[in-house]
Structure 1
Amino acid sequence: MKNRIVLTVISAFFISVSAFSQVGINNTNPTTTLDVKGGISLRESVAPLKINDGVSENIDLGEVPYSQYLIEGPTGAFSIKSIKPISGADGQIVRLINSTAYDMTIVNDKTANPLRILCPNESNLNLKGKNSSVTLQYSKSLSKWTVLGYAATEKQVTRKFDAIGKSNIHRQNSSWDTFDELDIEFTPTNSTIYLNFNAAGRRYLLASAKFRILVNGSPIPGLEIRASNSSEFYNASLPMYPLEVTPGEKIKFSVQWFREGSALSVIYNHPSSDPSHNRYLTIID
C-alpha cells in the first residue's frame, strides 16, 4: 500500500512537469510547446453533416466533434449561421466541405450570441461551387467562430429574375392594389440584391400614379415610386435599388399601384394593345 502511494506521488510529479514542458513528436529537441516532425492529420467524421435548406443555426457537431465534415442534405442554396463549439473551447478548428452543387453562405453575425461566426470585412462569405470549403476556428476571447480559410470557385454567377406584365389593366379607386403579374419568388445567394422596376401607361383626367414594392407581403419601408407625368402619359422607374437580404432564405416580391386625382381619374396599363405601355420587375442576385 505504501509503495502504491509513493508511485502515485511520483507519477503526479512527472505529469505536472510534462504539463509545462515542450513536447516533441518524432524529434528529441522541441522548440515550441508542440513540435511535430512529420505530417498532422485532422480526422473527418465518418457520418456526413446533415444541413437543411435555408439558414441553419446552432449546428451540433455531435457527441464527439471531429475537425472535418462533409456537408450533405440541401436541395438548394443554404446558409450556416451558428455552430455549437466544445464547452470551454479556445482554438477549436472545424473544416466544412460542401459536397452539393448548391451555393454555401457563411453568415456574418456580430451579435452577443457565442455560437455565431465573424467573417472577413464583416460581410457574408458566399462560397460557390461543388467541393468549396470553409475552415473555422473558435476564439474564446471573441466568443465567436472566425474564418481561418476558405476555398471556392472564382467565377461568381449573376442571376437575373424577370416578371413582365402582359395583360391590360387599369386603376380608378384611390387605394393600393395589386399591380398584376409582377410576382417573383426565389432564394437569394448574395446578401445584397438589386431591384429594377418600370411602368409606363396613360392617365385620364390629370390622374397620377405611384407604386411600391412588397417583400413577403409588406412594403419596403420608405420606398414609394411616384410616376412622372407628360401630357396624358405617365412613367415610373426604379433602377438598381440595393436591398439587403438573408442568403438561403426564400423571399417573395410583388408590386402595388395607387391612383391619385379626382374620383373620375383613371390610370391605364395596356401593354397587350399599346406598345408604349409596359410594366416589369427585374431582380439581380
Structure 2
Amino acid sequence: MLNLNDDYAMHSNRFAEVLACSQGKPFAFDHGGMRTLHFDGRYIQSAMRIVAPDELLLSYTRAMMAFLLAKQSPRHILMIGLGGGSLAKFCYRHLPATRITVLELDSDVIALRRQFVLPEDDERFQIIHVDAEHYLSSMQHTVDVILHDGFVADGLAPELSTEKFYRRCSEVLDDDGVLVSNVFGTTDDLMPVMTRMWKAFGPKLWWGDPSGCINRIILATKDVGLMAQRSALVKRAEQLDLQHGLALGEFVDRLKTAHNKSDAEFDAIAGYDAGATFMPY
C-alpha cells in the first residue's frame, strides 16, 4: 500500500477516467510499463511490471519474504489477502515444493487475477473466496507460514488485526511456524496492532520498516530458533539475496526485536522511527 507518486500526475486525466469507470470496484491501471491495483484514488495496493509479472516490485513485498530467514522450505503457506498476487506468484515460481492457499474476501479482487497474471488453481495453488476470520476459525490443520496482507481501502481490515485474530493465527501455525504481517500507517496506527501481536505471541516479535514506503513488516514466531541469532540472520539473508534478489540484507539491518525485552522496553522500541538501528539481541 503506497501513496500515488509523481508518475501518476503525468497520467492524471487517464487515471481519473479509469477511476470513474470503476464504479467503486477495485481496478487495474497501466502506465509506464507497470500495472497497478487500486481500491480508490488514494493508494497503490499492488504493482506489477508487465514484462516481468512474477517480480516483487515493491520493497514491502520483498520484506515479507523474510519468513525464509526462519523457514527455508515451507510445506504450506497460507496467504490472507490476494491483492495483485505479487507474493502468491513469487512463491509459486520460486518455492516449487510449497503448497499455497490464498484467502480473499472481495470477489472483485479475485476477478482481476488474469490481469495480474496469476496462475490457475492446481494441486498446490488455490485462491479461495472466503472470509479469512471464518476460515481460520474452522481450520483443522496447521501451516508453516501465514502471510497476512489483508487490506481494505483505508488500511488493514479491522477484523484481521484483533488480539483474537492473532491468537488464532498462532494456534494454526506449526510449532516452528512464522506469521508475517504487513501493517501501514503512523506510529499511532501501528502501536495498537503491535501490542495485540505482543499479547498473542509474547516477545517473539521482529519488525522492520522497508525503505521507500510507510509499511511495517512484523514477524511473529512460535519458536525463536534462527531468529535469535543475528549473525545467522545476516548470513541467511546474504544467501537469499544471491538466490532470489530480495534485498533482505537491507531489511535485516533495519530489524528490531522484542526478544528478551520487558513490556516497557517493547513499548519504547516499537515506537522508534523507520530506519532505527538494529536492536541488540
Q: Do both share a fold (TM > 0.5)?
A: no
| Structure whose CA Rg is larger | 1
Q: Going by fraction, where is helix more abundant, 1 or 2? A: 2
Provide TM-score, normalisation by structure 2.
Answer: 0.23
